[in-house]
Structure 1
Amino acid sequence: MSNEPKKTICLEHQCAEDQATPFGMVCPQCKRRLYTNPPQGNLMSFWESQPVAFTLDREPCFAYSLMWEDYRVRSIHLPDQEATARESSEIESHS
């Protein structure tokens, strides 16, 4: 089991979410916005119920949203690459 965090990508800015905030990891542009012009209203966070994309191995990628009245951070969560690599390297027996 790897201690590396799963990779997430900001859907607005198309870059890795590698910046820590009190709300979780976000991309550099979203972090700048959160600190220079803080969003207004209550924070809601939720997973979208349908996959927003699929990997080449047909693994679903789900989106997670942090949403205020005037701002939304939406990120795609890629499936665990270690599990995908392990499954694809297994040899199947058809006997």
Structure 2
Amino acid sequence: MRNEHATTICLEHQAAETQATPHGTVCPRCKQRLYLNPPQGNLMSFWESQPVAYTLEREPCFAYSLLWEDYRIRSLHLPDTTSADEPATQVKSHS
């Protein structure tokens, strides 16, 4: 499996999150766990308030958690590298 185009990575299994579930996209091993042994309790989801890592370009990567009483899925969200964002101070001329 290649992680080149992954924008989220499971921090538990160090795998790209490519599998769709009712709770969002997860890695294959987390999806297997969700379907074979569903977590118990209420689901809480939240972003961690501080970056958990940085890219080589020093862009922050944040973690997102899905938390039940007996299971937690923690995902590393990489910055979107497909869009070429320009600073707001630059204006394109269309003439």
Deviations 1:52-82 (A, max 9, x none): 0000000000000000000000000000102
Q: Higher helix proportion, which one?
A: 1
Unaligned regions of 5+ residues in structure 2, if any?
A: 88-95
Unaligned regions of 5+ residues in structure 1, if any?
A: 88-95
2:16 alignment partner, SS class? coil
**Identity fraction in percent:** 73
Residues matched between the structures, number = 83
Deviations 1:13-55 (A, max 9, x none): 0010000000000000000000000000000000000000000
Q: TM-score, normalised by structure 1?
A: 0.81
* CA–CA distance in structure 1, aligned partners of residues 84 and 63 of structure 2: 19
Q: TM-score, normalised by structure 2?
A: 0.81
Name the structure 2 match of 1:74.
74
Aligned-residue RMSD, C-alpha:
2.0
